[in-house]
Chain A
Amino acid sequence: MNDIKYDYILCRFGELTTKGKNRKDFIDRLFQNIKKRLKDYPLLSYEKQHDAIIIHLNGIDHDTVCDKLKTVYGLSNYSGAIRCARDLDDVKAKALVLIKKHPYKTFKVNARRQDKSYPLNSDMINREIAGHILRNSDVKVDVHHPDIMLYVIVKNDRIYLMDEKIQAAGGYPVGINGKTLVMMSGGIDSPVAASMMMKRGMKVECLHFASMPYTSKQALDKVLDLVKILTDFQDEIKVHIIPFTDLQVKIYEHTDTSYAITILRRMMYRIADEVCRRRHIKMIANGESLGQVASQTPESLSVIGGVSENLIIRPLACLDKIEIIDMAKKIGTYETSILPFEDCCTIFAPKDPVTKPHADKCEYYESKFDWAPYIKECVDKMETIVIKNGDTRLEEDLF
């Protein structure tokens, strides 16, 4: 026995272990999310336990599966596991192979009996296995900072031997905390905001404002490509596309240029509210960050967000641009976000936007035209596209 293959991946839960009464719902949701994430591998099978989900690899490559699991929120950490007979000699032999497979210098054995009827106690198991490794390799014991921690779990019909814990994405399983509508521009910030909402267990629907013909087909494609990347975290995402041009033109007709962006953003929130109402969503999120641009000063955020009836979450509010860029790179959206296409906020952008807008002035400009029918029309004409994970939106057979 020179090489050893993992038989399972043992997935441990994230924050949901702290939630007592909703535990079952959390685990069920995480279980569904893991299965969706691994849907391309029908040979895998699953075992749900009260403290872990065990993926039976059935010959599928361990690294391939781990790679997919990286984007599953709600997972705290996972380990490759090897199934042993309920016989310590089998565990010892396999533990030695596992240790020798890596360039580890120090180790520690951490045994736990879930089946207390096993004749040896945890300490005795630790000593038995460690002794065997010490006698047959050059690796030393280090109980404080071992290079590898070997976990041994004794069940009533088998013993698991496990590699070290690999950190997973953490957070809550997507969908467990309800739905949120994320305003998605196509820039760097909004996809990051969406992924942060997902991490808090929110199922995301996206809202995009398109100003055809002032914005291009490429600009819309870019947004859909960004959402496609986000489907690694949430298997299927709805994107609602609002034809915004008519209302946008009206705003510019009736508003002083310095207030145009402020009014424009207020209208966006009103549209988002209407979409929320129709989609039974109670929360709006976006990529606004304090002070980043004129419409994101405290005064602007207050005057703009003030029109909404919904809870508004701004996950990036207190992050600076560098931190946001790092997160965008981590989730894989950065390269797409920086492609240069106009969005609805960059066209007609005034040179002198107000940084401390007043609500009464906004109301004055808004009183000059009947905007409510435009809001309704925008949402009536909304187009919804469903983006699914794995869908490249391209002619696949060309590649």
Chain B
Amino acid sequence: MASNIYLDNVSTTKVDDEVLATYTKLLNDYYNSDALYDGGVTVFRHQEHSRKLIADMLGVKSNEIIFTSGASEANNFVIKGLSLMHPKGHIITSYYEHSSVIEALKQVERTLGIDVTYIKPQSDGTIDPMDVKRALRDDTFLVTIMKVNNEIGTINDLKAIRDALGGHKALFHSDMTQALGKIKIDLSDVDMASFSAHKIHGVKGSGFMYKKAHIKIEPLISAGQQEFHLRGGTSNSPANIVLAKTLRLALEKVDDKRIDEYHDYLINGLKAIKGVVINSNDKGIKSLINISTPIKTEPMINALNLKGIMVSGKSTCGSKENEPSRTLEAMHIDSDHALRISFDLNNTKEDLAYFLECLKEIIEKYE
């Protein structure tokens, strides 16, 4: 019997072997990257080279990449950093953003008198650019819309949203965490963006914010000169240095056709199981499939877990709370029965076959 089949790659990913080896090696270089002696200077140079390579890969400038502890911090940074400069101003977002966006917004609503408009997704799971345009006000200073939804996988057309914003002064930010390494991304559509390393087979506690060079923002972590004086605290240099390699390896695999094959194989298999409804549509990334089954989500996760298969229900960040998923609710999908299957190139067709077999067996047994 197969076991340890990991189908929760949207939640986090296995660290790539090469990344892990490099990271482990880097952990020995303990010097502070801001120190002036040789050890520190070398760490600094490696870190800045990584920043340059990341910028080159994304077609932007080095000083537009700001290392953070991940996308959640980058999202908080954008929202709170800009809100501090525009108290009582207006932000537009979508109803189904990641919790790090929603909760940061709730906080600035509470403390800085920021007014937030939440746009509901259309029935296909995407955000209508015209809805964003209609929500614009004179005091709107930020629009933040995710590129790829983390529960259903739908892809938003950021260029269309940018066009809809026209010449409005509001900055346009996107949480691109789930897009990176899965689809091609174009940073020229946005002013700012957030990314995490651990979603692309990198290490946890690592990520970065993209911010156009001319944009001013208040720091979230006030301290020293690190990250252009914008993000204080001793640099997490080993993670920052290995991030260039992590990104390179991930981008090399963006076009791998095996993902399409797996997707089609799974969809066909799922369609053949009685009682399974496929919630994802063709507007989404291929490596995530959201379904509903006749079994409630938690017993289903437990039953699959007993078979050595790891999947999630709604977003993992809200997995222990009793609230329904905002994404699924917005799309009128019953989140009590939803299951999120996310695979990647570490999976095999045999893994997927075994998953389909187990899913069928559980539904037949417990329905």
- A216 adjacent to B49 (CB under 8 Å): no
**A397 partner residues in chain B, CB cutoff 8 A:** 22
- B22 adjacent to A394 (CB under 8 Å): no
**A121 partner residues in chain B, CB cutoff 8 A:** none
A1–B333 CA distance with the chains assembled, in angstroms: 50
A217, A394, A395, A399: which has the most chain B beta carbons within 10 Å?
A399
A398–B246 CA distance with the chains assembled, in angstroms: 10
- A217 adjacent to B36 (CB under 8 Å): yes
Nearest Cβ on chain B to A262's Cβ, whole angstroms: 31
A335–B44 CA distance with the chains assembled, in angstroms: 16
Given contacts A221-B41, A399-B244, A399-B245, contact A394 B36 (CB under 8 A): no
A218 interfacial contact with B, CB 8 Å:
yes
A177 interfacial contact with B, CB 8 Å:
no
A335–B48 CA distance with the chains assembled, in angstroms: 13
A137 interfacial contact with B, CB 8 Å:
no
Q: Which residues A204-237 have CB closer than 8 A to chain B?
A: 216-218, 221
A221–B40 CA distance with the chains assembled, in angstroms: 13
- B41 adjacent to A218 (CB under 8 Å): yes
A392 interfacial contact with B, CB 8 Å:
yes
- A335 adjacent to B45 (CB under 8 Å): no
- B22 adjacent to A398 (CB under 8 Å): yes
Partner of A217, one of B38, B46, B245, B248: B38
Nearest Cβ on chain A to B325's Cβ, whole angstroms: 39
Total interface residues on A, CB under 8 Å, equals: 12
- A398 adjacent to B245 (CB under 8 Å): yes
- B41 adjacent to A399 (CB under 8 Å): no
B310 interfacial contact with A, CB 8 Å:
no
A141–B151 CA distance with the chains assembled, in angstroms: 57
- A216 adjacent to B36 (CB under 8 Å): yes
Residue interface bits A226-262, CB-to-B below 8 A is 1, else 0: 0000000000000000000000000000000000000
B226 interfacial contact with A, CB 8 Å:
no
- A398 adjacent to B241 (CB under 8 Å): yes
Nearest Cβ on chain B to A178's Cβ, whole angstroms: 34
- B50 adjacent to A399 (CB under 8 Å): yes
B26 interfacial contact with A, CB 8 Å:
yes
**A217 partner residues in chain B, CB cutoff 8 A:** 36-38, 41
Q: Which residues A380-399 have CB closer than 8 A to chain B?
A: 392-395, 397-399
A335–B25 CA distance with the chains assembled, in angstroms: 30
**B22 partner residues in chain A, CB cutoff 8 A:** 397-398
Nearest Cβ on chain B to A334's Cβ, whole angstroms: 12
Residue interface bits B15-38, CB-to-A below 8 A is 1, else 0: 000000010011000000000111
A270–B325 CA distance with the chains assembled, in angstroms: 76
- A395 adjacent to B41 (CB under 8 Å): no
B53 interfacial contact with A, CB 8 Å:
yes
A335–B244 CA distance with the chains assembled, in angstroms: 20
- A398 adjacent to B62 (CB under 8 Å): no
Given contacts A398-B241, A399-B244, contact A392 B41 (CB under 8 A): no
The A-B contact count (CB < 8 A) is: 32
- B45 adjacent to A394 (CB under 8 Å): yes
Nearest Cβ on chain A to B43's Cβ, whole angstroms: 11
**A399 partner residues in chain B, CB cutoff 8 A:** 49-50, 53, 244-245, 248
- B62 adjacent to A392 (CB under 8 Å): no
Chain B residue at smallest Cβ distance from A216: B36
**B241 partner residues in chain A, CB cutoff 8 A:** 398
B203 interfacial contact with A, CB 8 Å:
no
B242 interfacial contact with A, CB 8 Å:
yes
A216, A393, A394, A398: which has the most chain B beta carbons within 10 Å?
A398
**A393 partner residues in chain B, CB cutoff 8 A:** 45
Given contacts A216-B36, A218-B36, A335-B62, contact A398 B41 (CB under 8 A): no
A312–B25 CA distance with the chains assembled, in angstroms: 49
Nearest Cβ on chain B to A393's Cβ, whole angstroms: 8
Nearest Cβ on chain A to B236's Cβ, whole angstroms: 15
- B38 adjacent to A398 (CB under 8 Å): no
A393–B26 CA distance with the chains assembled, in angstroms: 17
Chain B residue at smallest Cβ distance from A218: B41
Nearest Cβ on chain B to A35's Cβ, whole angstroms: 26
**A218 partner residues in chain B, CB cutoff 8 A:** 36, 41, 44
Chain A residue at smallest Cβ distance from B38: A217
Chain A residue at smallest Cβ distance from B49: A394
**B248 partner residues in chain A, CB cutoff 8 A:** 399
Q: Which residues A263-306 have CB closer than 8 A to chain B?
A: none
A351–B340 CA distance with the chains assembled, in angstroms: 69
Chain A residue at smallest Cβ distance from B63: A335
A395–B53 CA distance with the chains assembled, in angstroms: 14
A394–B47 CA distance with the chains assembled, in angstroms: 10
A221–B43 CA distance with the chains assembled, in angstroms: 13
Nearest Cβ on chain A to B95's Cβ, whole angstroms: 40
**B62 partner residues in chain A, CB cutoff 8 A:** 335
Nearest Cβ on chain A to B234's Cβ, whole angstroms: 18
Chain A residue at smallest Cβ distance from B62: A335
- B46 adjacent to A394 (CB under 8 Å): yes
**B50 partner residues in chain A, CB cutoff 8 A:** 398-399
A395–B47 CA distance with the chains assembled, in angstroms: 11
**B46 partner residues in chain A, CB cutoff 8 A:** 394-395, 398
**B37 partner residues in chain A, CB cutoff 8 A:** 217
Nearest Cβ on chain B to A341's Cβ, whole angstroms: 10
A395–B42 CA distance with the chains assembled, in angstroms: 9
Chain B residue at smallest Cβ distance from A335: B62
A395–B241 CA distance with the chains assembled, in angstroms: 11
Residue interface bits B168-196, CB-to-A below 8 A is 1, else 0: 00000000000000000000000000000
Chain B residue at smallest Cβ distance from A397: B22
- A398 adjacent to B242 (CB under 8 Å): yes
Chain A residue at smallest Cβ distance from B245: A399
Q: Which residues B35-78 have CB closer than 8 A to chain A?
A: 36-38, 41, 44-46, 49-50, 53, 62
Known: A216-B36, A398-B242. 5 other contacts (CB 8 A): A217-B36, A394-B46, A397-B22, A398-B245, A399-B248
Chain B interface (Cβ < 8 Å from any Cβ of A): 22, 25-26, 36-38, 41, 44-46, 49-50, 53, 62, 241-242, 244-245, 248
Chain A interface (Cβ < 8 Å from any Cβ of B): 216-218, 221, 335, 392-395, 397-399
Contacts A/B (CB < 8 Å), 13 sampled: A217-B37, A217-B41, A218-B41, A221-B41, A335-B62, A393-B45, A394-B46, A397-B22, A398-B26, A398-B241, A398-B245, A399-B49, A399-B248
10 tightest CB-CB pairs across the interface, nearest first?
Answer: A399-B244, A217-B41, A394-B49, A399-B245, A398-B22, A218-B41, A398-B241, A399-B53, A216-B36, A394-B46
